[in-house]
Structure 1
Amino acid sequence: MLDLVQLRSFVMVAQTRSFTLSAERLGLGQSTVSQHLQRLERGLGRRLIDRDTHAVRLTADGEALLPHARQLLALERQASAQFDTFAPRGPFRLGISEDLVSGQLPGLLEDFIADYPSVDLQLSVALSKTLAEMQDRGELDLVMAKRRIGERRGDAILREPLVWLAGDPEAMLAKPALPLIVFPPPSLTRLLLMEALERSGMPWRIVCSCQSLSGLTAAARAGMGVLVQPRSLAPAGLREIAPPLLPALEDVEFVLVTARSADHATVSAFSRKVRERFGKGFAGLASAEAGRKDGIF
């Protein structure tokens, strides 16, 4: 018989790759989480987690158990929500900044819908300013996006530095004018990088403009030019170019902005999920970690 409490600890460790962070998110002691995993392993007669001083990894048996564990926990949440009169339900119009589409967003949405199956999610992905305009027109209940430091709109989740990225930094820096890969206006990232270049007096030219981060990333990996992104969301395969080789960029803040007409229960439930995943930063994004490890500048 599988114990749901033990499975919950197992899934959290699999998600965070950290006993300490798992204990914080579950509101338990680290020793309790360890005991849950040990009891689960004893009950199954299989080793699920390999842990050393450097990393926590799932074994082959752990990888095999994970989808079943998630499904069982999802069924538990759905059954509870079915009989919860005050559980969020109905349409929920969510706007997400293009920067956040990769990484943990799929897991965040999966967790939210699993917990609140009666919610009808309507997702919009766009640039931060575009999302703000949509919300002002009454088209979005909650926006998760970027803002400039010093702006007041929204409730800040975390602050991130913007960094210059390229597949081949040496080749980009050797060009007479810095080739730029950018979002179109009204991108905040575009505005901040342009301001930094204007202050430095460095010559530049735009070689690629695209609404999609995946398109910009493909152009950067192909060696077309330099891309700017929040450091912890840096796509894999790109290396950071640090000042003074290129001018320093401002930090940005990621925020949640709630419409006055939004359903409070639904917004609160989603906001809790966001803070559970992003409250310690964008830790756990494999692509970002790979990008930082490649950085030599």
Structure 2
Amino acid sequence: MLNLQQLQSFLTLQQTGSFTLAAERLGVGQSTVSQHIQRLEKTLGKQLIERNTHKVGLTAEGEALIGYARGMLEIDGKVMALFDEGRLRGRLRFGISEDVVANRLSDILEQFTRLHPLVDLELTVALSATLYQMQAAGDLDIVLAKRRLGERHGVALYREPLVWLARDPERFAASSEPLPLIAFPPPSLTRKIAQETLDSNGIAWRIVCTCGSLTGLTAAARAGMGVLVQPRSMAPSGLREVVGGHLPPLEEVEFVLVPSRGADRALIEALSKEIRTRILPSSIGD
């Protein structure tokens, strides 16, 4: 019989790519996670984890186990909820900025829905400024988005710098033409910061691609159309940072949680807990 604790350690290790981060997320020692994986591998008679000095990956057998492990833990959560009148119930309207969706959202949702299967989570993805407008209108219960340094709304989770990204940074660094920008539409915070930074440094620019989806912006940047601005830890694959002083440094932004007044405090705190646990940027490996 498979052990649910061992399966949870296996899934958390797969999500984080690190024994250290998996242990921190689960609130146990690193040796406990290692023991869980070893016992699970012994039970199945298969190696599930590939280990090297750079990262932790899955074998083919490990990849095959993921779906079944998730299913078993989901069933366990639903059974526990069925017989536990104290479990959280209700509806929670969650707004999240586009760039966070592409990088962190899956882990947050997976754990939250497993722990609170009776909560109906309504998800809205939009630009930070748009989410704040919707929240002010009473359409959202909690928002995870960005703010500029010095702004006071919300509870700060962490801060990091914005960076210039391109497929071929050298091409734009050496060009005398106006800098081609790939950006979200107004009222995008990253767009505004990029334009203000270029203007204050006397650098000409032009918008060559506007899209409300980070997937679309990333495709344009990977096609070599121009330069994209993103938080450093959320840089899409296939793009490199423009370094060497060719473009002026961009300011830092803060990622914040903004709960709404009147929202269910128990639901807000439950989701906030999972976000705080999983939102911080981290390196892969031990």
Question: Is 1:87–1:265's contact at 8 Å kept on the other side of the alignment?
Answer: no
1:43-192 correspondence to structure 2 within 5 Å: 43-173=43-173, 174-192=175-193
Match of 1:270 in 2: 271
What is the 5 A alignment of 1:210-249?
210-249=211-250
Distance 2:122 2:278 in 1: 21
Aligned partners of 1:21 and 1:36: how far apart in 2? 15
Tell me the alpha carbon deviations over residues 253-276 of structure 1, each in whole angstroms, 9 at most, x when there is no partner: 111100011111111111111122
SS of corresponding position for 2:256: strand
Do the aligned residues in 2 keep the contact of 1:155 with 1:255 (CA within 8 Å)? yes
Whole-Å Cα distance in 2 between the matches of residues 170 and 31 of structure 1? Answer: 45
Secondary structure (helix, strand or coil) at the match of 2:228 reads strand
Q: Which structure 1 segments of 5+ residues have no match?
A: 285-297
Deviation at 1:106, TM superposition (A): 2.5
Alignment partners' CA distance in 1, 2:277 and 2:73: 17
Give the 4+ runs in structure 1 shifted more than 3 A. Answer: none
Change (3 A) 1:283 1:134: farther
Q: 1:89–1:118: 8 Å Cα contact kept in structure 2?
A: yes
In structure 2, relative to structure 1, the CA distance for the partners of 1:156 and 1:239 (3 Å cut) is same
* Contact 2:15–2:107 (8 Å) recurs in 1: no
What is the deviation of 1:252? 0.6
Taking the aligned partners of 2:195 and 2:166, their CA distance within structure 1 comes to 17
Match of 2:4 in 1: 4
Task: Decide whether the 8 Å contact of 2:170 with 2:242 is kept in 1.
Answer: no
**Distance (Å, rounded) in 1 between the aligned partners of 2:188 and 2:52:** 43
Q: CA RMSD in A?
A: 1.5
In percent, how many aligned pairs have the same letter? 59
Deviates more, 1:65-74 or 1:77-86: 77-86
Maintained 8 Å contact 1:91/1:119: yes
Is residue 258 of structure 1 aligned with residue 264 of structure 2?
no
User: Cα offset for 1:142?
Assistant: 0.5
Give the structure 2 partner of residue 39 of structure 1: 39
Structure-2 change in CA distance of 1:138 and 1:243 (3 Å): farther
- What residue identity is the alignment partner of 1:55? K
Q: Which amino acid aligns with 1:97?
A: S
Deviates more, 1:128-137 or 1:214-223: 214-223
Distance 1:58 1:268 in 2: 33
Cα separation, 2, equivalents of 1:13 and 1:172: 39
- TM-score in terms of structure 1 length: 0.90
